[in-house]
Structure 1
């Protein structure tokens, strides 16, 4: 993995039907149906809609042998329609269903957390080493027959770990951690390699973007140590819908794609599955476009721990840096529910006394704004250092990786009222800005840094995906004390087509998706699949409408029990499908009420939140 030059990580090429994943192949775009697998016509039609949008692989749940057998009819219907897109079966808890599916479809996904081990109930287990190895033998008993069937039918296997469904055995030894996810996959990979079965894709997913990113990075390192180079499938589970789902997916998937990691992607949205395909295609193409970017000099040593979170140490300047959460700066005033800490304005004639402003340094100097809530922006460190008139409280200074030489950093690192605003003009801006942070950290420079990016987008979805992909990874790695996004016209002379409030909302969304600042209710919402036996999209929309103003709450909305309790590990409340039209409610990981009729369940959730004293509306920051 090259941190300073965009290149795709080299992986094995794996054939899946008429496509290849990994190697020199382009990033494969896929989705998953959410119909009942026994609804053959409905599943065929939904698969065709996914394919029609450009989906290159369609995954279908097969919770039992009956559903696995019906994949034959679904496959025939798709082939009869003239499409030869490979199909994947999604298997949990049922090795026999995997055996059946492996003889029918081109790919089978199994979950190491529940392929042999029972569903986790979060009990700590103690094993001697001999007992633990006996548990590994149990995996071999079920996995080796599946590998044999896959060999006979040229079927690919995805070893797909979900953070939310790690087994009690794994969590007891390795923790509910990225390391636990990696070891869960490695147990299955070691057996497969020993059996000389190499037609494998690996995935490590979580609704927690930080965990998802760290787990995939650690997986690459662990595979490399053991001579394995299997292709990686990327995704953020339970990302949600709308703006939040897109931003959260882009933060997780985009952070890895930015370093050339990932051979196939699925964007999990609580929307019709065909909606996922255009989003995934945009993400994939955004990174392949940055080939042959401008030179970024290598920085040694690399001062960031990529497998665990550690915030960069900075000194506090006013409310920026130190122990403060990352701030938001907007390119203009806004008056919505999400309000930035600072607004950059061209003209400081009519200002609101309750708002902090940033103006051009010359404007600030000429109009005498010292001892006000208006602060200067200098266009370079050189401008700042040569100026005879500066704020005694807070100065914002634009800079870039190319400007930050060792000497310049030494010259400014003792400043007490300086906040750097880090821009980039490199096509690979993510790596360019990260390299600037490496310089500051290696020089023991503790000045706070605002991460600033400029776009020229006309489409809000494109803007959100690019901004989240470019900036989320820096915050995931503990870099950045604030965020400032501008969207300009194509000639960069005027404001662009995206509204200021939408830009601010995106900024807050990126910070929340990166898990560094919570500003609104968080929804851990799965996309649903054939296991979902209630109207998930309707329930999600209703819960969001009723609870979106509650203060600092996380609510999990899950189609079934597969990832439910685990993926909702840090959720305050859970709404989980329990059977046809039935819902189970959780408080944290504890079941509060079972088998509530679907039509009453949202109201029961609202009442539960009220009974627990968490029905607190917030005036947003």
Structure 2
């Protein structure tokens, strides 16, 4: 039935993966769930690749020289679901102690493979490769020291640089071959070398080339026991880089290596989970990814369940989803963000930020206080409404109108039948079913003069409906799906509009009636964020199975959090905080909480909180300010990537950070509007 409703050039899926066009090689299918085929990497007795389940991993935060503490934490991680345990080895002494940690774990009956995390120190990597099952290197700093210098390389000078890298890298490759040790070549957006930045810029292209330089050396030595990663604290950049990496591997005829997925420095609590799910989930939807690490500023054993929840969503995805018509013409550039072109309808589409609609259809809007959870506050004195940065734009009240006058910054949406009974149809807006809309237009029945919401789905996109919508400048579509493969079906719907040159704004409507509470932010961030990251979507409306005032607050915050993580609507402070490791020089969780308490009202300000110099300043990427540990109880403060204050005592560092923000005239005192 779907095929008869959609354009004949876009056939229904028949079980064979489509290749939309030569520009989209990063996924076997844009509409089916098909896991990308990869080679197998041997990592102890837990192999990785498409012939095996997607693996879960995390990283210890205890000092690597603390053998007992490292072993105890590793056991907690393993029992929480980690299939690989990564441990930092910043110098030779830590690399040597990996042997003690490994031996003690084996004595206690734990055979989980260990991964040594290496930055800057090839000699530590070469030692660790003889001890543990896998070594992670960062191509941005394995053979380079970052000076933030632009160098105009000639081709010969660049080739000489590659030869220098080859000489430093070959010993590790040969040791890994001899000992059967796996390797991850792990690019980080924030720590690209000056060489890469000078030639390719701070881009996904530069990230991919950084890894390929090292990968080509490995292949020349016939060493293939390799995984790859493209991490960034910006999910948009991260997704684009992984897609481009897959495409480049294919184009160059390189092996289809397994991919390690992660959004680095995602942060803490729900914001960290939203950001992680948006990046990781978007790739998993298209069958990309063979191991997942969720980087939260929390205890590492708390990361594994989040990774497992993301992965488990795809265990039976192919069998549980409804077939979606294939895409053979894909009008989206998956490697570079560009927002879909839409026309403006009131404050939807065009150049407007995506809007948030709060679902009050199951909760009576009978008292002004019911709007507090969605950011609107009535103040009896001075008899005014105030709105904070998370103030919803619209409320949907179903068939029951609000019982009081709403604030000017909030508009009401009702079901069409209820809207028709109102005396004031100018300041409220109807939502029509597809059938109601077509009947109203055919019968010349009155609808709202400026804005009409039409709820529709992929199956309802008939030629007649799309032709009518195309010529109606008052419509905003509320698009939904019941398909388990939700994001690709909604993407398919928007692609159909784009291929027919329909510029009607689209609001993504997702309802989650039967999922665990802790999974809601992960699923919503994937389904909605996966569209936003490609510029598809002009608003969001989330619903769940338990309508309540508390749930309204949670869904509203989640909606704005997804928009923020996708970088499509900035409404709050953004924290780029590393998840901690054995290199960390202060309590990251406590410090992050303290900084957040003082600064979380600074809309649009990005603050990087890094435990050591390895993760700063480079890893802070696009942060406005940085708080970086440089020694015990010593902090360096950055403006962008420039150090401004060195060796600030930790007990004064937050105050000094705030003073730095004041100097730039970006400080605001907390007020009611920012609560």
Corresponding residue number in structure 2 for 1:316: 344
2:57 matches 1:27: no
SS for the counterpart of 1:334 is helix
Corresponding residue number in structure 2 for 1:362: 417
> What is the 5 A alignment of 1:559-578?
559-578=611-630
2:372 matches 1:335: yes
Corresponding residue number in structure 2 for 1:114: 141
Q: CA deviation at 1:458?
A: 6.2
2:295 matches 1:240: no
Corresponding residue number in structure 2 for 1:182: 208
Corresponding residue to 1:15 among 42, 48, 51 = 42
Distance in structure 2 (CA, Å) of the matches to 1:286 and 1:308: 27
Distance in structure 2 (CA, Å) of the matches to 1:186 and 1:296: 35
2:93 matches 1:57: no
Distance in structure 2 (CA, Å) of the matches to 1:134 and 1:14: 31
> What is the 5 A alignment of 1:316-465?
316-332=344-360, 334-336=371-373, 337=375, 338-346=390-398, 347-354=400-407, 355-372=410-427, 374-380=428-434, 382-387=435-440, 388-457=445-514, 459-465=516-522
Corresponding residue number in structure 1 for 2:126: 99
* TM-score of the aligned structures, taking structure 1 as reference length: 0.97
Please give the root-mean-square deviation of Cα atoms over the aligned residues, in Å.
Answer: 1.4
SS for the counterpart of 1:10 is coil
Mapped contact 2:358–2:395 kept (Cα < 8 A):
yes
Q: CA deviation at 1:459?
A: 4.1
SS for the counterpart of 1:499 is helix
Distance in structure 1 (CA, Å) of the matches to 2:654 and 2:95: 33
Distance in structure 2 (CA, Å) of the matches to 1:503 and 1:533: 36
Output one character per residue of 1:132-189: Cα deviation in whole Å (capped at 9) or x when no partner: 1111111111211111111111100000000010001001001100000000000011
Q: CA deviation at 1:317?
A: 0.3
Mapped contact 2:233–2:621 kept (Cα < 8 A):
no
SS for the counterpart of 1:301 is coil
Distance in structure 1 (CA, Å) of the matches to 2:343 and 2:628: 44
Q: CA deviation at 1:599?
A: 1.6
Distance in structure 1 (CA, Å) of the matches to 2:249 and 2:39: 12
Mapped contact 1:458–1:498 kept (Cα < 8 A):
no
Distance in structure 2 (CA, Å) of the matches to 1:25 and 1:407: 46
Distance in structure 1 (CA, Å) of the matches to 2:515 and 2:526: 17
Q: CA deviation at 1:456?
A: 1.5
> What is the 5 A alignment of 1:268-279?
268-279=295-306
Tell me which stretches of 4 or more aligned residues in structure 1 moved more than 6 Å: none
Distance in structure 2 (CA, Å) of the matches to 1:233 and 1:77: 27
Mapped contact 2:578–2:615 kept (Cα < 8 A):
no
2:666 matches 1:614: yes
Distance in structure 1 (CA, Å) of the matches to 2:80 and 2:184: 23
2:279 matches 1:252: yes
SS for the counterpart of 1:335 is helix
SS for the counterpart of 1:552 is coil
The change in CA–CA distance for 1:464 and 1:349 in structure 2 (over 3 A counts) is closer
2:224 matches 1:169: no
Corresponding residue number in structure 1 for 2:379: none
Output one character per residue of 1:78-134: Cα deviation in whole Å (capped at 9) or x when no partner: 111110000000000010000000000000000000111112x32111111111111
Distance in structure 2 (CA, Å) of the matches to 1:605 and 1:497: 36
Q: CA deviation at 1:439?
A: 0.3
Q: CA deviation at 1:496?
A: 7.3
Mapped contact 1:487–1:498 kept (Cα < 8 A):
no
Corresponding residue to 2:64 among 5, 12, 37 = 37
SS for the counterpart of 1:607 is helix
Distance in structure 2 (CA, Å) of the matches to 1:455 and 1:523: 28
Mapped contact 2:229–2:261 kept (Cα < 8 A):
yes
2:555 matches 1:503: yes
Corresponding residue number in structure 1 for 2:328: 300
2:96 matches 1:69: yes
The change in CA–CA distance for 1:223 and 1:498 in structure 2 (over 3 A counts) is farther
SS for the counterpart of 1:90 is strand
2:167 matches 1:141: yes
Corresponding residue to 2:227 among 201, 206, 209 = 201
Corresponding residue number in structure 2 for 1:492: none
Q: CA deviation at 1:615?
A: 1.2
Mapped contact 1:112–1:185 kept (Cα < 8 A):
yes
Mapped contact 1:234–1:253 kept (Cα < 8 A):
yes
Distance in structure 2 (CA, Å) of the matches to 1:294 and 1:452: 18
Corresponding residue to 1:488 among 533, 536, 545 = 545
Mapped contact 1:369–1:375 kept (Cα < 8 A):
no
Distance in structure 2 (CA, Å) of the matches to 1:80 and 1:351: 69
Mapped contact 2:570–2:603 kept (Cα < 8 A):
no
Unaligned runs of 5+ in 2: 1-26, 361-369, 376-389
SS for the counterpart of 2:333 is coil
Unaligned runs of 5+ in 1: 490-494
Mapped contact 1:330–1:485 kept (Cα < 8 A):
yes
SS for the counterpart of 1:71 is helix
Distance in structure 1 (CA, Å) of the matches to 2:496 and 2:572: 34
Distance in structure 1 (CA, Å) of the matches to 2:122 and 2:477: 55
Distance in structure 1 (CA, Å) of the matches to 2:575 and 2:473: 39
Corresponding residue number in structure 1 for 2:387: none
2:663 matches 1:603: no
* TM-score of the aligned structures, taking structure 2 as reference length: 0.89
